[in-house]
């Protein structure tokens, strides 16, 4: 029995790490809590559902189209809302409030178009899955974990070994200095929103294929992802992976030990403990303040 909870924790942790990375890409350069990222998560699953079920597109076509829609939404939010606010000197608090309002609007639009009832996105007949180390795992779950790890590794390689990654890390580390050196930070911001939104859309599609989807699914995907990002260390790809796996395992082992109703509370206990012991995260570094 415990093997099943461990496997479930690893599957959930991989998804949390994927969401954490998608959020961290945006947070590292935008420097504010992009709450509307949750709405982008939900939109990915519902766009795929609309294209596949309503318009009859095959799933292999609906998935990339839904991801493109999420990328476009991320770019529109950055160029149409956040960039103009930033040019007018808006503080991170103002950007947060704007993002929260945008999240509420988008979530209600999804509910208006698709309804509040639970929707199901399926690839075919649901099978019993396969046995791995005494636990049962479905084909969709295997695909989910594989895609999450491939994207995480590819992102780490891009950030560490490419010129684009170095530019991204420069803007993330010190945007003012990067701007002085000629880096167009507004382009980096736009790319971060496009890539992060596309990853969030893909994550929600994988979740919808495994379980179900509701208009509020973006929030319950975003919050564990943010917790995983903080636990692992903001801006660290290995940190996102380790933070996600820790959170997923602790949550599901907690369900095994004390019951499912405590699953959300366990996530925030992990967050509080991390903030108390190592607030900069497992792979993060404390920020040094220079005195002038």
Quick one: average pLDDT of 208-215?
91
pLDDT band at 26 (very low <50, low <70, confident <90, very high): very high
Q: What are phi and psi of 278, to 5 degrees?
A: -145, 80
pLDDT band at 111 (very low <50, low <70, confident <90, very high): very high
Question: What number of other Cβ atoms are within 10 A of residue 229's Cβ?
Answer: 28
Asked if the model's pLDDT at residue 284 lies above 70, the reply is yes
CA–CA separation, 67 and 41 (whole Å) = 10
pTM of the model: 0.92
Where does residue 218 rank: exposed (0-12), middle (13-18), buried (19+ CB within 10 A)? Answer: buried
Asked if the model's pLDDT at residue 291 lies above 80, the reply is no
CA–CA separation, 206 and 203 (whole Å) = 5
Place of tokens 């382009």: 187
Question: What number of other Cβ atoms are within 10 A of residue 155's Cβ?
Answer: 20
């Amino acid at each position: 029995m415990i093997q099943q909870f461990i496997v479930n924790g690893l599957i959930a942790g991989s998804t949390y790490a994927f969401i954490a990375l998608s959020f961290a890409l945006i947070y590292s350069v935008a420097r504010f809590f992009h709450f509307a990222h949750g709405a982008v998560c939900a939109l990915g699953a519902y766009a795929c559902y609309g294209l596949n079920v309503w318009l009859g597109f095959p799933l292999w076509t609906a998935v990339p189209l839904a991801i493109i829609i999420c990328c476009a939404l991320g770019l529109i939010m950055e160029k149409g809302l956040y960039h103009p606010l930033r040019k007018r000197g808006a503080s991170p608090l103002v950007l947060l409030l704007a993002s929260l309002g945008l999240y509420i609007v988008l979530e209600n639009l999804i509910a208006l178009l698709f309804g509040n009832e639970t929707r199901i996105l399926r690839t075919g007949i649901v099978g019993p899955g396969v046995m791995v180390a005494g636990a049962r795992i479905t084909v969709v779950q295997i695909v989910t974990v594989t895609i999450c790890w491939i994207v995480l590794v590819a992102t780490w390689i891009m950030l560490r070994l490419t010129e684009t990654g170095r530019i991204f890390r420069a803007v993330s580390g010190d945007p003012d200095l990067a701007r002085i050196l000629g880096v167009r930070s507004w382009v980096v911001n736009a790319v971060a929103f496009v890539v992060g939104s596309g990853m969030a859309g893909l994550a929600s599609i994988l979740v919808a294929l495994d379980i179900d989807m509701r208009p509020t699914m973006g929030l319950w995907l975003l919050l564990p992802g943010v917790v995983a990002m903080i636990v692992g260390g903001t801006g660290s790809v290995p940190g996102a992976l380790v933070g996600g796996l820790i959170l997923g395992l602790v949550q599901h082992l907690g369900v095994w030990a004390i019951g499912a109703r405590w699953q959300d509370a366990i996530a925030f206990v992990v967050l509080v403990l991390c903030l108390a012991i190592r607030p900069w995260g497992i792979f993060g570094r404390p920020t040094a303040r220079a005195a002038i």
